Amino acid sequence: MSNGTDLTRWNRAGLNRFRYVDGNAVTFLELLRAELASRFPDWQEVKALPSTETEVERQERMLEQYHSPRRDWAWEIVRVLARASHVLTEHLDAYANEGFLGTATQWDTVRRLVEMIDYHPAPPASASTRLVIDAKEAGTLPAGFAAKHTPADGSAPVVFETLEELKVDPLLNSLRPAEYNRNPERLEGELLLLEGEVEDLKTGEPLVLEDTESKILRAYLIVGTRLVEGNTEVRVSPRLSQRLRKGYTLIHARPAERLVPIGPAAKGAELERVLRLTEEPEGLLPGMVIYLGDGAEDLYRRVFSVRGKRLVLDADVGPLRLDTARIGYPVTLSVIAQEERPVDNPDAVIYALRVAGDWSRLADRRVAQETVAVINKKKHKHLPFYSVTAARYHLVDSEDPRGGYTILTLSWNKSDHPFPLNNPQTLLAPPAGAGPWRTDTYLEKKDGHLPASVITGKPKKTTAGDLAVVVMGRQTAWARLASVSVDLEREEATLTAEGTWKDRGGGDFFLAETRVYAHFKDELRIVSWRENTQPLSGARIPLSEVPMALEKGRVLMVERTDSPASAFFTKVTKMEGKTLVLAQDLSAGFSRGNTIVSGNVVLSGHGESKGEKVLGSGDATRSSQSFVLAEAGVSFVADSTQPAGVRAAISLSVAGRVWEQVGNFASSGPSDHHYTVRMTEAGHLLFAFGDGVRGRRLPTGTNNVRLTFRSGTGLGGNLPAGSPFKPAKPHRLVEKVCQPLPATGGNDREGVESLRENAPATLLTLERAVSLDDFAWLAMAQSSVWQARAFCRPTGLGRSDKVEVVVVPAGGGELGPLAEALTGFLTAHAVPEVEVTVLPFESRTFDLELLLTVNAVAYNPDTVAAAVKSAVQDAFSLRKRKLGQDLFLSEVYQVAEGVTGVEHSVAIINDDRTARRVASGDREVLTLDKLVVTVASESAATPSL
């Protein structure tokens, strides 16, 4: 043995014992050579070597010395002795260790040791998950339907088979909450944000907003538009009705027709001071006097203001025939002489006036005079009228040199107005022809609304079912058309509304200023009209439709479209009308818009069914017959009645009768058709049958013991969520298969380290959970569990004890179906009146930096760094760390400096050079996340990541 080895450095990590091996066949041969060289100096094969030999040269020479053949028989005997010493000492050490559970290293040795206390190694476990089926048609999907996942790395496909029968229905593929794709927000304000870039929206044109559910229609006028991040913002007038909802509002835009209204037009009206013309009166200014005539009345008014086609007069107009009325400038007559002839009525006067020219056409017409009256010391202008009762024209002739004049006889009655004709010099008379401007008429209304039918010019495209909007300024009326009747001779059409026209504004629709917009070409939507963010809470989900197959107790998957990790499985508790009541509450974040409920959910397990095999032949004369199934990887599924929580996925029959798999024969009677299954060291299955006292013996027969099984087990079945699956074979009921949550519960056969720890502890539980430790050990005895800790919780108002078991499932990740299986397993083994809850562990990580000092002359730095990295990652992995185990700096040194070639190391945890300990919570497992290993030498440092 080398005397120069520094053993003290091993204790810097706080070890209380160590095992240091510094010898093998090569080094033993060198020790023998040195000893023989001192005793036999003349022996050339073992001669002494110069002291100038370096360590590297020494190692190379020792290897060559051991492997090189020599013809010296004495040397060959020495080499055989060195090799035998190596083998013998290591064999003796290993063999001695196999006699004790704490030191045994061989699986079969440990298995035999623990069998002495009736503990059997936990078999491997097959992963399970719930698959969601997208059904093509309704029917029953039998158990054993296979779905296949092909890994991206090209490894062998992983097959899962359904473990139960399922009635599938296409209506259950994807259930959505009521109004899931409709935004329920109410419209408000005066802005509409439309999807996409909408062209040719013109200011002043109408939009019709339709609630597609309630069929409410509202018309608005476009005030302005602009682009906002690829969408079109439209400002409308008036403000939007809050009766309209974003998700149900269909916007009809870009009318193809702009029709001229014709009728039903009003014939006459009692007008106030406002008068509308068919065109703008050019040259007409405020203060001017105008003449109004409709063929029945002659009226004179002074213009107060002019705004476009709208005139405001100084006095009310009164009754007027709008369809015949014309407006113009009055003619001014100069009065040559005046004669007054009183009548019997003191309130009436007859005037006789002489005016030049022929004005006989004024008979039975009215004339007016501009009069200024002083009222309260203020002058006021008036236009009193006078009736022309006679207008006699006197021709020019020799007998009457004054000829060529007209005598106008005027009458005034005080009941008409209080202005007698005083000292007339000029009169205002109707013009000779029709005035230059027409008065504008309007569409007649009935009960304050337009009639059902409106006459317009002939349309080109407008038909029944189209929308139409009557617009004058900011005043609108709208309707959906029930019919469109066209009169080809008159070039007119009658638009008849469904029901009545809805209007806004209340005023009249004057024909010259009114247009009828119809046949809207575009149907637009508001941005985010499909987004329903109305939150869902509790356990209730309102549905729009309820399929018949949605029955109480059916398993469902509830997921969020924006967060796949929020998906969970639950059951139907009941249906309240169209409201689905779940067995558990929804977590925060679920809304009507992001919630999907899938009803074709089936439990599946890792494994593929194999054909029937003959296990052996029964012999009733033999007790406790056993057979070995030489198949590796047989599936194991959850079963709370088994000691390890799983049973082999096998159907065994003897002479056609199916026998039952049990954990042991302790409760079996002489007639019970029971058998047990154990694992062999080779990973095969050992089947044992009863002895006639504990369990029935096998009946005599030839090849009468047969079985079918599923093959597929281990950690390889723990697939992440969303792994792509497809049916292994096409099935008429199945369109596709998906795996929304991880497959969990898969684990390899129980290893030596677990056997050493679990076997003694589980023995103390006697398969009954009483103390908290019992719950933990029984949970860890389950094949799908790596670690477990139990905690007692307050009972609250209840009387039952409450135990929470925190579990690290095999492979880590989520619990999935393992939670339900493990809860049933622990409850079956717990004392009565104990409420058991299984919870997942809490993952917590730390970062680590390591600076290694390596003698680059003796070792390859990169090789040492890789070995350190591998050792550290393994030591601080989820498989090796314990629940609630704190991290100490000394642990890091122990692992890093335990690697051959490391002379010294410096560790930094979480970028904190002063950290000596990282505390872990009782429910946490502290594992390594980021690791950086750097190798330093005297000349340079080489990073190894």
Domain boundaries, the chain: 8-97, 174-181+532-599, 191-264+442-524, 268-329, 331-434, 766-840, 843-944
> CA end-to-end span of the chain, whole Å?
36
pLDDT digits (tens, 9 = 90+) for 138-150: 999 999 999 999 9
Residue 703: what pLDDT?
94
Task: Answer yes or no: are the C-beta atoms of 883 and 825 closer than 8 Å.
Answer: no
Spell out the SS3 assignment of 258-294.
EECEEECECCEEEECCEEEECCCCCCCCCCCEEEEEC
Q: Specify the fold of 766-840.
A: GMP Synthetase; Chain A, domain 3 (3.30.300)
pLDDT digits (tens, 9 = 90+) for 709-742: 999 998 889 999 889 999 999 999 999 999 998 8
Task: Report the C-alpha gap between 500 and 31 in whole angstroms.
Answer: 116
pLDDT digits (tens, 9 = 90+) for 618-670: 999 999 999 999 998 899 988 878 888 889 999 999 999 999 999 889 889 99
DSSP assignment letter at 60: H
State yes or no: pLDDT of 399 exceeds 80.
no
DSSP assignment letter at 469: E
- Nearest Cα neighbor of 174 from 598, 699, 752, 761 is 598
pLDDT digits (tens, 9 = 90+) for 683-696: 899 999 999 999 99
Residue 15: what pLDDT?
40
pLDDT digits (tens, 9 = 90+) for 787-816: 899 998 887 666 678 899 999 998 888 888
State how beta strands 674-679 and 660-661 pair: parallel
**Quick one: pLDDT band at residue 945, thresholds 50, 70, 90?**
very low
**Quick one: pLDDT band at residue 69, thresholds 50, 70, 90?**
confident
Task: Report the C-alpha gap between 623 and 121 in whole angstroms.
Answer: 24
Residue 152: what pLDDT?
86
pTM, entire model: 0.69
State yes or no: pLDDT of 13 exceeds 50.
no
**Quick one: pLDDT band at residue 105, thresholds 50, 70, 90?**
low
Task: Answer yes or no: are the C-beta atoms of 250 and 523 closer than 8 Å.
Answer: yes
When the candidates are 3.40.720, 1.10.1740, 2.40.170, 2.40.30, the CATH number that belongs to 331-434 is 2.40.30
Residue 380: what pLDDT?
78
Q: At 801, give phi and psi (nearest 5°).
A: -70, 145
DSSP assignment letter at 526: B
Residue 110: what pLDDT?
72
pLDDT digits (tens, 9 = 90+) for 425-451: 889 999 988 789 999 999 998 888 899
Task: Please state the separation of Cα 425 from the chain's center in Å.
Answer: 90
Residue 5: what pLDDT?
43
Task: Report the C-alpha gap between 96 and 107 in whole angstroms.
Answer: 15
**Quick one: pLDDT band at residue 395, thresholds 50, 70, 90?**
confident
Q: What percent of the chain has pLDDT over 90?
A: 55
pLDDT, mean over the chain:
87
Task: Report the C-alpha gap between 191 and 732 in whole angstroms.
Answer: 52
